[in-house]
Structure 1
């Protein structure tokens, strides 16, 4: 094991106190975004309520957890109080990037810095909420009534990840009708922006704060957006963006074809494919077969990922500016680092209530999102600092028939467990034995399950190699 159980428990207690201090540091940074001190203080209580273990995070429950007698102050914070949400996002962004980079700076291999673009939504009933429309909702996996917000996550390889920017997508019909815009609290001058254009806005804000990325990654919504690709290339920003199978390529001045056609013609040779890991998941290495195809530009490539069992294909359009390393291995690493944004959404919703907001006005929805990002940032930085000091997992299996270890150890403190630890430390002088027992039980159970998953996957890898 990397460290003993007692040392890990001590590290967790020490980090809990440090996390509380870190939360105070971020909230102090946000002070300049608020006109009145009382509003800023209530925002701090709102964030504390988000980190607490209340089962639902809406205006009523947050107000009760914050100690208010009615929801009025919470509703005023989101709707009418004077404070700058965009400036608050900037402070959160600098805090996240600086914190994760500091942890990475203490390691020998610092890893890639990834900007992961993706959208997530919240299902809504009725038609009164700003941005609500019947549309495809990833959270539901189908067409549903709801709102969508485009997010930018900062992913530091082998360190951690958190959200650093967000813009709500608003349908054009809500903006062209003045009565609807006024009823939904949409400010004058707000123009329609596609999700790809919102991604440009998010990257612009990040660049304005001096944030640098090794790659920008995103799914087909962003890979198929020509203005976004052009914007990134103008800023000499490398990217690995998913595209559809019918995405058109120019392989030479006389040849244009789709990605699917290019694979059929050029990638049938088995020697073109290399089996590489897209990164380590909770169940072990994520192995795929990869190939890449050159285009007319020496800096543009198509990266193809093939599932080893189903042969399902995924296509990535890649750009690397001159002077930066261009290798298949580096592109594969970048492509595999897009998935943490999904985990970030899961934590933001399940632990901090990103999708539990019952606000209807544009300003209120935006402000709730900012405060959730603040709570997530504090716990993400604490979890990153603790990652190596609280990891007591047994060594991974080497053979498919290996017997499970007697003591599986514990996984590192995750963002949800860090939030629980912070909630406990704020309500009690020391972590309660009962809470500590359950926190350790969950982490030990997850370590055992992870080990068994890795052994199962190892047996599949053996069968693929035979």
Structure 2
């Protein structure tokens, strides 16, 4: 809270933000302004709703403070910026950015929001640091819908790779120490993003499709055809990182792409990964301003999976996708405070990297449980629980009276 408190001009919103983040860290069945306000001991949800919807503060500035916080505690010269998107399933058509579109989270076309996230990974840990909401063209071209959701006039259509580029530019301009960028096929297939990364001298390991074509000494070829023509001696067994059940071993190969050289004067490779059990293949376009060995590229490719761990922790433990806000500003504020909570956990977990005996180091999820049980829950009062039971029943009674009165106007 010391890192972001200056963004809130008065002590009341600073305390409310602290209580809001504490509510996100709590094991509530669902997380929304009602449940978080009850957890904080407020006498109603109005204060939390005001913080998310109406109070005066800039969510972009808070995310900048979170980025600086992460740089100070997890920063490393070989840090990796990870880009990926996640979908939040929603009902109706009024929530900002929602439409029927493909969601990798659901694995099919669903009514959902999509957001591009930027995560930071280093030897000390990994955490989410920034986000950009994807607005489909159907929203961009509908002024009435935009106005109802509070979308700023300055927001135009941008593809997911364009949003990712903006997030990366912001992180680099903010001084976040990093050397690499990793992402999936949605970003590896965009040549403009790759060129922008080379221009910033950022190495990258970006996944591409099996149909992706690369220039080789024998002409332009598909990546899957290159894999089929490789001799057995070209493959090496290398771990992509430590997993909960052991090393993540795959067969790897890479070939140099000298014909892909451009004005950036770096080194291009095609990296290939083969599952040792199923034989399934994956492909990556790689670039670095300096020569690096194969195992270094493999390590960067393996880092990409950490953003999936961040998504899981933020959704299951911090309520990233449980918001009930339809408007642009409220969505960004909710997501920003979830990012802040996740960064706190990642930084705190990074301070305890060794354990005695046969214990593993404290994980983000375990730290969240300990922090709530030992710090947050210990400060709550029985009176708060009773007061909220009375508040809910009074609110429900008022709503019931209003429903019956409205019905009496229509019915004989």
Report TM bin, short chain. 0.7 to 0.9
Cα distance in 2 for partners of 1:354, 1:263 equals: 39
Report if the CA contact (8 A) 1:247-1:259 is conserved. yes
Corresponding residue for residue 373 of structure 2: 424
Partner of 2:392: none
* CA apart distance, 1:136: 1.6
Any idea what the Cα deviations from partners look like across 1:22-65, whole Å, max 9, x if unmatched? Answer: xxxxx122122224332222111100111112121112101111
Within-5 A mapping of 1:332-411: 332-388=298-354, 390=355, 392-393=357-358, 410-411=359-360
Equivalent in the alignment of 1:412: 361
Q: Give yes or no for contact 1:392–1:412 (8 Å, CA) kept in 2.
A: no
Contact 2:83 2:164 (C-alpha < 8 Å) held by counterparts? yes
Larger mean CA deviation between 127-136 and 410-419 belongs to 410-419
SS class of match (2:201): coil
**Distance in 2, Cα, partners of 1:58 & 1:428:** 18
Q: Residue 219 in 1 paired to residue 208 in 2?
A: no
Task: Describe the SS at the equivalent of 2:147.
Answer: helix
Alignment correspondent of 1:88: 62
> Which residue of structure 1 aligns with residue 274 of structure 2?
306
Q: Quick check: 2:238–2:251 contact (8 Å CA) kept in 1?
A: yes
Contact (CA 8 Å) 2:78, 2:177: kept in 1 or not? Answer: no
Counterpart pick for 2:244 among 282, 292, 313:
282
Q: Deviations over 1:296-338 (max 9, x none)?
A: 13611000000112111000000001xx341111111111111
Distance 1:427 1:210 in 2: 33
Whole-Å Cα distance in 1 between the matches of residues 196 and 208 of structure 2? Answer: 17
User: What SS does structure 2 have at the residue aligned with 1:308?
Assistant: coil
Map of 2:284 onto structure 1: 316
User: Paired residue for 1:144?
Assistant: 110
CA distance in 2, matches of 1:286, 1:52: 32
Q: Say yes or no: does 1:202 pair with 2:151.
A: no
Distance in 2 (alpha carbons) for counterparts of 1:68 and 1:427: 15
Q: How many residues of Structure 1 are paired with residues of Structure 2 in the alignment?
A: 373
Deviation at 1:95, TM superposition (A): 0.6
For 1:33-72, what aligned pairs fall within 5 Å after superposition? 33-72=7-46
CA-based RMSD: 1.6
- The answer for unaligned runs of 5 or more in structure 2 is 380-412
CA-CA distance at 1:141 after TM superposition: 2.0
What displacement does 1:160 show? Answer: 1.1
Structure 1 unaligned regions, length at least 5: 1-26, 105-110, 394-409, 431-466
Partner SS for 2:351: helix
Deviation of the 1:94 alpha carbon:
1.1
Q: Distance in 2 between matches of 1:392 and 1:286?
A: 25
